[in-house]
Chains A and B, each alone.
Chain A
Amino acid sequence: MIKLITGLCFVGSFIAFALGTFGLFRFPDPYTKMHGLGMGDTLGVGLAGLGFLILSPTWALRIKLLVILFIFWVINPTMSHLVAKAGLVHGVHPVEGTRVIKG
């Protein structure tokens, strides 16, 4: 049963990373490419982490994995924000047809 659950986690993780990589090629500009890669960074890493958590033999290892996941999920959005802001500041144009909505 554990093997089945972890297997599903790793397959799900692989699909998320594969879709993210596909998005890198299919989406047109750097801003939209980041959204595609976000799938691998969240669901891909999360499912892989869950699989490793279940397979871990000791609690110390599980806590270390949780710390790694936490740090990853803090750093990942910070870097995405920095890349997007750097793109906008340095004049990287979004794809034609990008709209602006004010709330």
Chain B
Amino acid sequence: MKRQQLILLILLLGFWLIVSETVDLQHLAAGVVFAGITVWFWRNLLERMPKWPIWQEVFLLGHLLATLVKYIFGSNIAVAKTLLFDSPPVGPVFVVIRPPIESNWGRVLLSTCITITPGTVVVDIDPETGQFIVHALTAEAAAGLFDWQIIREISNVESWQRRRLESGLAVGRSHDSDIVRAAAGDLGPHSD
């Protein structure tokens, strides 16, 4: 069993024990069996998952989450103001942006952040060019996307991961170099 599979098994088992709120032989055995079956069933998908983040990346992702909560509060107030005081209530905009995000996980994360922020919804993403089509409630919400802090923070995490993958490739210490190469390819060319 690979390290990644073992970590996933432990996480699933931990989740099962928290949900069941009971730690006895029966629950433990059922948890190990079903977590094992789940890990075995998704074994092909595991190889395509992003590498486990290191502490610096976890810290950056935590900072991103805090920034996102701040934006969610701000956007809720902005949408409420638009809803209550503007007449006509909206001046909607379709905005096309091409953020400097290369990886698939980065694009999915950014898309989720944009859509979870009230006032902006991602309508489409071009996987080839990384072009986002976003529907925004107002021109101000659309303009804010061009220099959004969240985009810079995701790009920052990507840079960390790219450097880590490239250093792993350079010293040849990775036990699953094919997967690392695939992930590095997914991140695209070096841009900084």
A interface residues with partner B (beta carbon < 8 Å): 16, 19, 22-23, 26-29, 31-32, 34-36, 38-39, 42-43, 46, 60, 63-64, 67, 73-74, 76-78, 80-81, 84-85, 88, 94-95, 97-103
CB distance from B112 to the nearest CB of A (A): 5
- For A77, give the chain B residue with the smallest CB separation: B115
Task: Decide yes or no: A81 and B119 within 8 Å by CB, A38-B79, A43-B72, A103-B98 being known contacts.
Answer: no
B123 touches A88 (CB 8 A): yes
Interface pick from B50-58, B85-93, B176-184: B85-93
A62 CA to B111 CA in the complex, in Å? 28
Given contacts A35-B119, A85-B124, 7 further A-B contacts (CB under 8 A): A29-B92, A32-B89, A35-B120, A38-B79, A77-B112, A88-B124, A103-B145
Asked if B80 CB lies within 8 Å of chain A CBs, one says: yes
CB-CB under 8 A from A67, the residues of chain B are 15
Indicate if the CB atoms of B76 and A42 lie closer than 8 Å: yes
List, in ascending order, chain A residues with CB within 8 A of B79's CB.
23, 35-36, 38-39
Chain A interface helix/strand/loop/mixed: helix
- Min Cβ gap A44→B in Å is 9
Is the CB–CB distance between A31 and B76 below 8 Å?
A: no
Q: Which positions in B face A, CB cutoff 8 Å?
A: 15, 18-19, 21, 72-73, 76, 79-80, 83-84, 89-98, 111-112, 115-124, 135, 137, 139, 142, 145-146
Cα(A34)–Cα(B90), bound, Å: 13
The contact of B89 among A26, A31, A46, A102, by CB within 8 Å, is A26
Which listed residue, A23, A28, A34, A94, touches B94 by the CB 8 Å rule? Answer: A94
- Of B89, B122, B123, most buried by chain A (CB within 10 Å of CB) is B123
Q: List 15 A-B contacts (CB under 8 A).
A: A26-B83, A28-B89, A34-B121, A38-B117, A39-B79, A39-B118, A42-B117, A42-B118, A43-B73, A76-B116, A77-B111, A81-B122, A88-B124, A99-B94, A100-B94
Closest CB in chain B relative to A29 CB, distance in Å:
8
